[in-house]
Amino acid sequence: MKAFVVHHYGKKHDLQLVDVLEPQVQEDDVLVQVHAAAINLLDAKIKNGEFKLLLPYKTPFILGHDVAGVVVKVGAKVRRFKIGDEVYARPADHRVGTFAEFISIHENDVAMKPKNLTMEEAASIPLVGLTAWQALVEKAQLKKGEKVFIQAGSGGVGTFAIQLAKHIGATVATTTSTANAAWVKSLGADVVVDYKKEDFEAVLKGYDVVLNSQDTPTLKKSLRVLKSGGKLLSISGPPDPAFGQDSQAGWFLKNVFRLISARVRQQAKQLNVSYSFLFMRANGAQLEQITRLIETGAIRPVVDKVFPFEAMNEAMAYVETGRAKGKVVIKMK
């Protein structure tokens, strides 16, 4: 089969289109013929070597974290899916590889594709949907009437998280440019801060939850918009000791996480707020709940551009510019 492979880490190295063996199907796996795959900033960071500490993939490997397609083979113990099912998924870490014609995924990480979405729209959902769900529903336990600040409202995670938070019944604040202000309001944002003109720290006060996806200075300012007892969840780091424990990291990594997160944890403690790092995980059951929200119209996909499979490196470069509104998707022939 054809697949885009990382042969060498680094920004100067493009993904290489090569012929590789079709993946093996274990007894709990489904083999999915890929119809569409989305590109995430995470893919670019992994390719560039920025996540080697957390995800030390051995080159060469196939990249890609989002997929929508059709089941063409099932393992002996698979009961939830059959050949011909239209599905979507975020494969588990160390089993990624959606930038290919086929991928084998554990059935627990797969869900039926929303009936009202195209393959391209469905492929845009899993990673950002699960990230938002695990941050706002699972970890923050966001409730109706609470106030949440979601950074970068026009990005992939932002566009989904705004809609999810609004569905829950929260008051939603976000940051974006003037050009995108009306658009993110149409997604459900109540308060929009133009990051080019305003300092969100001067505008936002007394928030219950912050979903941080930006750099360290932004993270520090975000702590100060929370009310006492508020919760900050960061998907951009730094990893904390709890993450090291949950991910069953080794002794060395646990100490690294403790050291690099020490300052932000200390600042959070002084402000009587909590800090936690989130690195989303595959979860088919949560994806099924997201499917129901999509099929009822509570959440809609936001796709910026669709590229052909052969234009993978062009699409990756576009994602790395940071200018995409929502998700960038790859369509197979």
Burial 7-37 (b: 16+ CB within 10 A, else e): eebeeeebbeeeebeebebeebbbbbebbbb
What DSSP state is assigned to residue 100?
B
**At 109, phi and psi to the nearest 5?**
-100, 5
Where residue 110 falls among pLDDT bands split at 50, 70, 90?
very high
The answer to whether residue 41 scores a pLDDT higher than 90 is yes
The answer to whether residue 247 scores a pLDDT higher than 90 is no
DSSP character string of 203-261 = H--SEEEEEE-S-HHHHHHHHTTEEEEEEEEESSS---HHHHHHTT--HHHHHHHHHHT
Each residue's pLDDT tens digit, 177-236: 999 999 999 999 999 999 999 999 999 999 999 999 999 999 999 999 999 999 999 999
Whether the Cβ atoms of residue 312 and residue 15 lie closer than 8 Å to each other? yes
Residue in 146, 182, 151 with CA at minimum distance from that of residue 166: 146
Distance between CA atoms of 192 and 166, rounded to whole angstroms? 14
Whether the Cβ atoms of residue 290 and residue 90 lie closer than 8 Å to each other? no
Whether this prediction's pTM lies above 0.95 is answered by: yes
**Annotated domain spans of the chain:** 2-125+301-331, 128-277
Hey, do 2-125+301-331 and 128-277 end up sharing a CATH topology, with the first three levels equal?
no
Whether the Cβ atoms of residue 15 and residue 313 lie closer than 8 Å to each other? yes
Residue 69's pLDDT is: 98
Tell me the two tokens of residue 218: 């932004």
Tell me the CATH number of domain 128-277, given options 3.40.605.10, 3.30.2130.30, 3.40.50.1980, 3.40.50.720. Answer: 3.40.50.720
Report the CATH superfamily, name and number, of domain 2-125+301-331. Medium-chain alcohol dehydrogenases, catalytic domain (3.90.180.10)
Residue 53's pLDDT is: 87
